[in-house]
Chain A
Amino acid sequence: MAEIRLDQVTKAFGAVTAVDDVSLEIADGEFLVLVGPSGCGKSTLLRMIAGLEEVSGGEIWIGDRDVTDLAPRSRDIAMVFQTYALYPHMTVRQNMGYGLKARRTPKPEIARRVAEVAELLGLADLLERRPAQLSGGQRQRVAMGRAIVRQPQAFLLDEPLSNLDAKLRVGMRASLAQLHQRLGVTTVYVTHDQTEAMTLGQRVAVMRDGRILQCDRPQALYGRPNNLFIAAFIGSPAMNLVEGTVEGDTVHFGQYRVPITKRPDAARVVVGIRPESFEDAAFAPGMPTIQVRVEVLEELGSDAHVFFHVDAPPMTAEVLETASEEGLLATDRALFTARVDARTGARVGGTLELAVDPASFHFFDLGTGARFEAAASPALAAR
């Protein structure tokens, strides 16, 4: 086990910069997730750590060794690929033992370690099969097993769950987290799925256009996204975003005015409101409220999602294009999501009084997308 240190790492393919001046320290035993939309450079960064991609500038350290110019085999890392990359002409046993054999580990030792890991992953009965005879989930476990057997300094995982169906993916996610707890090996995990990133990562680095925008604990990313892109990217359902104006101690967006307790340092801002910052007013007395017309109601059992229109253009700022998926219906009004108590009396087409929690509003710069560290409003400061 070892820490991994990236120092101003850059990768250029001709005129295109895939990874741009990335510096990052991954602690010994940490589970770090690199997340971002496709083409953001996360896979390239992982492949550079593995040594599969040459570094255009900067340094990569694993433990106390500068591995920037070392071949992949000299870096003592193990990698799990999106396609698993199991050797089709070898049995599961040979697949798992290949790395040890390549490193001239004595045969009894290989047999012992393969058996041990196969037991751990429930592969003991499949050792003599070939990859073609395995299901998707089994292949995934063999790929993990091949990495674990090696007892490397670090695991590099490149979207290892994306080829599995949704149900299996959730199960494997939990197993991965358990495995990491048990083995405690430094892990770098690449995914484009923010749910995977949030549930697995001890820290999550959000990447875009080859840069790391923010690297923090999942809760911090969710609670204090430092720009609009991360605000839109992290969280499901996504944060509601709309352009608004601040006048004194109120913020206007669309047809609504809401009193705020802390003010951003600008008159025109992007207002970000998490779905859970709303509640059916019947269950949250004493909060400011807004009247909404219910467009869609999704009842999930544990809670309900209420969709309603806000009379303001949806955030089509360039910053958001890659962050959130567009809906099917073209609309010139923003569609908001509120997460409310499952006992809500909301009906589609009816009106609903929603309580809002202004203290949890996020404000972003209209031009740069940077987060405003809201100043406490004078009323509170005077106290």
Chain B
Amino acid sequence: MNARRRGRRARQAGWNVLGLAIFVVMVFPVFWMISTAFKSNEQIVSLNPTWFPLHPTIQHFRDAIHRPYFWVDVKNSLIIVSVTVAISIVLAFLAAVALARYRFGGRKLFIVLVIGIQMLPQAGLIIPLYVVLARYHETNALSGVVITYMTFVLPFSVWTLRGFLIGIPKELEEAAMVDGSTRLGVFMKILLPLMGPGLVATSVFAFITTWNEYIFARILLNDQSKQTVTVWLSYFVGSSRHTDWGALMAASSLTAIPVVIFFLLVQRRIAFGLTAGAVRG
């Protein structure tokens, strides 16, 4: 009896250690990025690595911000991300309603295609996409990047929103229609409020993917004044023989801030949505 209980405890402790190890592996790069950003140059290149900055400095942040094109590229990133997320969520919501609630020819095929396209390696799409965009003079333009990002944000959003919609009982819409609502009324008064958490969760994901995207932005945008923050970051490495690690880490930390802020703003809503949806109305 006792031996068994001890065995169970040991097993539990083992799982906890494993979980902790995974947590450390995931958090370490982030910790190292932030820690390095505050270290002095001597400490960064020292052969004896130290965990924490000995004399914390914000000099690297100053350097990073005052590099050319920082603010311009931040603005570019924000424009691309917000336009992509806004258009994608609106279109994806409408498409998801159609897929989840109406029956039409080719519906199943469409659903399979939407998820199938996600399976394609993105690298394989670079050249065809470039050729197509070049034909319509959309290379080296923010709008071209928005279109490109939508090709992978849209299918994902349609797919997840459809999942959220299926979780909303159809009777709610039927009850509202019998109660006197038009189809539009049902959409605005019933579906939209109930889909709040789903819309938020999906836009968080879309925001993170597009904000962090690098390869397409690197290839499609040539002018430094039109590039995104991720491309701007890449210029820290290899632009000369010496890489300014301090500034790079400071710049990386800065780039991560919008994502963190956005997530903190909405994460309570997501958690709320998960529990509220579980209760049958």
> Chain A interface (Cβ within 8 Å of chain B)?
50-52, 71-73, 75, 77-79, 81, 83-89, 98-99, 102-103, 131-132, 146, 150
- Most chain-B Cβ atoms within 10 A of its Cβ — which of A86, A88, A132? A88
Inter-chain contact A89/B171, CB cutoff 8 Å: no
Leading 10 A-B pairs by shortest Cβ distance: A88-B281, A99-B179, A102-B180, A85-B171, A85-B175, A132-B279, A73-B180, A72-B177, A79-B178, A72-B178
Give the shortest distance, in Å, between B192 (CB) and chain A (any CB).
10
Q: Is the CB of B181 within 8 A of A89?
A: no
Are the CB atoms of B169 and A102 closer together than 8 Å?
no
- Candidates B185, B276, B280, B281; contact of A87 at CB < 8 Å: B281
Residue of A nearest to B173 (CB): A85
Q: How far is the CB of A259 from chain B (nearest CB, A)?
A: 56
- Chain A CB within 8 A of B95 CB: no
B182 at the interface (CB under 8 A from A): yes
B279 touches A88 (CB 8 A): yes
> In the complex, what residue of chain B is closest to A53 when comparing beta carbons?
B174
Partner of B281, one of A75, A86, A98: A86
Q: List the count of A-B residue pairs having beta carbons below 8 Å apart.
A: 72
Chain A residues with CB below 8 A from B174, complex form = 50, 52, 72, 79, 81, 85
CB-based contact A103/B178 at 8 Å: no
Question: Which A residues are in CB contact (< 8 Å) with B179?
Answer: 73, 78, 98-99, 102, 146, 150
In the bound assembly, the distance between CA atoms of A293 and B129 in angstroms comes to 86
Query: Min CB distance, B170 to chain A, in Å?
Result: 9
Given A102-B179, A103-B180, A83:B185 Cβ within 8 A: no
The answer for the CA separation of A71 and B180 in the assembled complex, in Å, is 9
Contact B171 A102 (CB under 8 A): no
Q: Which residues of B contact A71 (CB under 8 A)?
A: 177, 182
> Most A CB atoms within 10 A — which of B171, B190, B276, B281?
B281
Give, as a whole number of angstroms, the nearest-CB distance from A5 to chain B: 19
CB distance from B281 to the nearest CB of A (A): 3
**Shortest Cβ distance from A84 into B: residue:** B281
Decide yes or no: A102 and B185 within 8 Å by CB, A83-B171, A85-B169, A87-B281 being known contacts: yes
Q: Are B176 and A87 in contact (CB under 8 A)?
A: yes
A4 to B279, CA, bound (A): 36
Contact status of A87 and B177, CB under 8 A, knowing A73-B182, A102-B185: no
In the assembled complex, B219 has its CB within 8 A of some CB on chain A: no
A80 to B, closest residue via Cβ? B175
Q: How far is the CA of A102 from the CA of B190 in the complex (A)?
A: 12
A103 to B179, CA, bound (A): 8
Instruction: From B178, B182, B276, B279, give the contact of A77 (CB < 8 A).
Output: B178
**Known: A85-B281, A89-B194, A102-B181. Is A79-B175 also a contact (CB below 8 A)?**
yes
- Distance in angstroms from B102 CB to nearest chain A CB is 13
A150–B171 alpha-carbon span in the complex (Å) = 18
B contact residues around A131 at 8 Å (CB): 279, 281
B65 interface hit (Cβ, 8 Å): no
15 contacts between A and B (CB under 8 A): A50-B174, A71-B182, A73-B182, A79-B174, A79-B178, A85-B172, A87-B190, A88-B172, A88-B281, A98-B179, A102-B176, A102-B179, A103-B180, A131-B279, A150-B180
Q: How far is the CB of A52 from chain B (nearest CB, A)?
A: 5
The CA of A84 and the CA of B280, in the complex, are separated in Å by 10
Do the beta carbons of B180 and A88 come within 8 Å of each other?
A: no
Residue B193 CB within 8 A of the other chain: yes
Interfacial chain B residues near A132, Cβ < 8 Å: 276, 279, 281
Chain A CB within 10 Å, residue with most, of B179, B185, B189, B193: B179
Contact partner of A88 among B176, B185, B194, CB < 8 A? B194
Quick one: closest A residue to B168, CB to CB?
Answer: A88
Kindly state the separation between the CA atoms of A98 and B178 in the bound complex, as whole angstroms. Answer: 11
B12 → chain A closest CB, angstroms: 34
Given contacts A72-B177, A87-B176, A132-B279, 7 further A-B contacts (CB under 8 A): A52-B178, A79-B175, A84-B281, A85-B169, A86-B281, A88-B172, A89-B193
Q: Which residues of B contact A50 (CB under 8 A)?
A: 174, 178
Give the distance in Å from the alpha carbon of A73 to the alpha carbon of B180 in the complex: 4
A residues less than 8 Å from B182 (CB atoms) = 71, 73
